[in-house]
Structure 1
């Protein structure tokens, strides 16, 4: 039987606050968001045909790009 990882519990207001802080380049907020999504990302790596660590890194990068978009000038 699989063990459930205890997920970080956040209210909607706390989550939106973290997103806002991450968009303003707060590294601690970004780490908390990555930690929040980590169990879900680990579960999804089972369905991606590549090494688990590579799949996890791709998902982490996608989340970082989602919350911290690169602005080209």
Structure 2
């Protein structure tokens, strides 16, 4: 039986702090208050989805910029 990897595991564990910071920056820009205790159970699904969507857009944009920089050399 094939081994399954978890979809939420980080490929680069050292990136965890940067992703956490990005989450708080995006939430602040969207006007969503994240709880300081780390419990997100009271967060609306639409709010969590908005945060996740914006994070994904930014990460894709960063990757595209890196790839564009590599191909122009």
**TM more than 0.5:** no
When Rg is computed on C-alpha atoms for both structures, the one with the higher figure is 2
If each structure's helix is expressed as a fraction of its own residues, which one has the higher value? 1
Q: Which has the higher contact order (CA 8 A, sep 6+)?
A: 1
Scaled by the length of structure 2, the TM-score of the pair is 0.33
